[in-house]
């Protein structure tokens, strides 16, 4: 078994399965050969919920925005609020009461008080918008106490944790989804329509990323992110925040729905921008100028899929630049990109060697979901995407259907982070992706958003 492909958990699972057979998520596995398990992931559903009882962990900047959106979605009851800052809890309790709902129970007895909330409260789902290291513990506590789980991104940043989320979801029959709002971006969904209708021909290549100047955030120790995001920059070198870019691309390319990520190579530039920024901002004698940052300023990761498509995923949160997620899709008959301006070229429809404004195709390819989107949704954060990602999840629970983003999607998109770290550390050697679906990606249907 290739060391790049198999984690310690994989090795133990395979060794056990090869000998006596095991049960994962209720599916019996026996006589496994090679390095992967072949059973399909467990499919399950829950009865429709008339009202969805929500508990929320982490109500800082992004978390409070989520609570605000949830209060505007029909059929939601916010029953519990948890945060390490008591004032945030009371502020959200006041907001819920002002919205006409009963005052939710507050939990603020330290970092692990979410476990008490998950154990004591009668909830259907637990949302969390916490620093990254808490995403997995909160999701596990929710599922182990009979609740569904929804996490901000990335859902995990180790291979081991990704497997733990998958196995716990399968065992408990509880959904574990990720709040990847960028999948619902208007242009990204327009590109999804084009991909599914064959407008670009056979799909060959995509590019995406997270390019966002976060230097001020990383040195703002009193902000919501500076106290923890900077720590990742000190210790980790790779593509640390891949899901905003790769989420839409995975939908376009039917990842885990007929194709899968096969392997990646990753390379990082040297790290100088944060130190130079600190010198200019705080003066040459400030101790922050001499801090050591493992994270290279620019990371480029290249993925090849099982069906032979290629994807470039970039990460840059250290340099001065306008925001971008790139969002490019190339087919044999055309190409479309979103950043810095949405442009398209379709052979036979566009002038040769000329870009067109994508809105020239707006009537033809705007996704039906966006045509019917309410004004309330369009007012949500990040151009409406924050509202949509919560609304889609709540509607799935109320209708008794699976969420758009499964636990398998969530971990496949998030695991790019630790795999890229492995590749960077090994001089950009290829690293294989785990198959969290154990082969079921070959038969899944394309994503359908209605």
Residue with tokens 């992967």: 36
For the chain, give the mean pLDDT: 90
Residue with tokens 């990335």: 154
220 falls in which pLDDT band (50, 70, 90)? confident
119-177 per-position pLDDT tens digit:
999 999 999 999 999 999 999 999 999 999 999 999 999 999 999 999 999 999 999 99
Selection from 449, 435, 440, 413 nearest residue 177 by Cα: 413
Say how far apart CA 306 and CA 309 lie, in whole Å: 8
In this predicted structure, what is the pLDDT of residue 242? Answer: 98
For residue 445, is pLDDT > 70? Answer: yes
The residue with greater pLDDT, 5 or 246, is: 246
Cis peptide before 261 (omega within 30 of 0): no
192-205 per-position pLDDT tens digit:
999 999 999 999 99
24 falls in which pLDDT band (50, 70, 90)? very low
For residue 33, is pLDDT > 80? Answer: no
Selection from 213, 230, 245, 217 nearest residue 294 by Cα: 230
% pLDDT > 90, the chain: 82
* Long-range contacts, 138-141 (Cβ 8 Å, 24+): 138/57, 138/114, 139/165, 139/168, 139/176, 140/164, 140/165, 140/168, 141/114, 141/115
In this predicted structure, what is the pLDDT of residue 43? Answer: 73
369: number of Cβ within 10 Å: 17
Domains, the chain, in order of start with CATH, read 1-39 (no CATH), 52-178 (3.40.50.720), 183-373+399-442 (3.30.360.10)
CB 326 within 8 A of CB 248: no
In this predicted structure, what is the pLDDT of residue 366? Answer: 94
81-109 per-position pLDDT tens digit:
999 999 999 999 999 999 999 999 999 99
CB 213 within 8 A of CB 320: yes
In this predicted structure, what is the pLDDT of residue 28? Answer: 29
225 falls in which pLDDT band (50, 70, 90)? confident
Say how far apart CA 171 and CA 142 lie, in whole Å: 13
User: What proportions of the chain, in percent to the nearest 5, are helix, strand and coil?
Assistant: 40, 20, 40
380 falls in which pLDDT band (50, 70, 90)? confident
Is the alpha carbon torsion for 375, 47, 117, 181 positive or negative? negative
CA dist list (Å): 153 to 129, 179, 240, 326: 8, 7, 11, 18
Say how far apart CA 134 and CA 83 lie, in whole Å: 12
For the chain, the straight-line distance linking the first and the last C-alpha, in angstroms and rounded, comes to 42
10 falls in which pLDDT band (50, 70, 90)? low
Say how far apart CA 378 and CA 381 lie, in whole Å: 8
291-317 per-position pLDDT tens digit:
999 999 999 999 999 999 999 999 999
% pLDDT > 70, the chain: 89
pTM: 0.91
């Amino acid at each position: 078994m290739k060391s790049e492909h198999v984690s310690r958990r994989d090795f133990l699972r395979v060794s056990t399965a090869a000998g006596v057979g095991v049960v994962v998520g209720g599916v019996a596995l026996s006589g496994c050969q090679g390095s992967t398990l072949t059973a399909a992931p467990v499919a399950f559903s829950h009865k429709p919920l008339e009202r969805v009882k929500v508990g929320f962990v982490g109500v800082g900047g992004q978390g409070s925005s989520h609570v605000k959106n949830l209060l505007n979605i029909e059929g939601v009851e916010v029953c519990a609020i948890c945060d390490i800052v008591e004032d945030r809890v009371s502020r959200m309790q006041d907001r819920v009461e002002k919205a006409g709902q009963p005052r939710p129970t507050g939990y603020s007895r330290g970092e692990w008080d979410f476990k008490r909330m998950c154990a004591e409260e009668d909830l259907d789902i637990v949302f969390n918008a916490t620093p990254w290291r808490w995403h997995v513990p909160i999701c596990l506590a929710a599922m182990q106490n009979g609740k569904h789980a929804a996490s901000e991104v990335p859902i995990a940043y180790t291979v081991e944790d990704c497997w733990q989320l998958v196995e716990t979801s399968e065992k408990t029959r509880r959904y574990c989804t990720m709040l990847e709002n960028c999948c619902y971006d208007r242009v990204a969904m327009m590109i999804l329509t084009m991909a599914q209708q064959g407008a670009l021909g056979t799909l060959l290549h995509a590019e995406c990323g997270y390019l966002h100047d976060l230097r001020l955030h990383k040195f703002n120790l009193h902000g919501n992110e500076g106290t923890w995001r900077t720590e990742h920059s000190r210790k980790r070198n790779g593509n640390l925040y891949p899901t905003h870019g790769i989420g839409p691309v995975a939908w376009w390319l039917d990842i885990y729905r007929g194709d899968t990520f096969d392997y990646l190579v990753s390379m990082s530039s040297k790290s100088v921008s944060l130190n130079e920024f600190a010198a200019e901002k705080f003066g040459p004698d400030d101790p922050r100028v001499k801090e050591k940052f493992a994270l290279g300023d620019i990371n480029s990761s290249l993925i090849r899929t099982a069906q032979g498509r290629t994807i470039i995923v970039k990460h840059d949160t250290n340099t001065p630049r306008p925001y971008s997620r790139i969002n490019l899709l190339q087919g044999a008959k055309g190409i479309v990109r979103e950043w810095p301006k949405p442009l398209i070229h379709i052979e036979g429809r566009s002038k040769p060697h000329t870009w067109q404004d994508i809105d020239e195709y707006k009537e033809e390819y705007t996704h039906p979901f966006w045509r019917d989107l309410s004004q309330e949704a369009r007012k949500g954060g990040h151009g409406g995407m924050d509202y949509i990602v919560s609304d889609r999840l709540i509607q799935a629970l109320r209708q008794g259907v699976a969420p758009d983003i499964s636990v398998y999607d969530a971990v496949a998109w998030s695991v790019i982070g630790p795999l890229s770290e492995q590749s960077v550390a090994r001089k950009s050697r290829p690293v294989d992706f785990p198959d969290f679906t154990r082969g079921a990606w070959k038969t899944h249907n394309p994503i359908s958003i209605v």
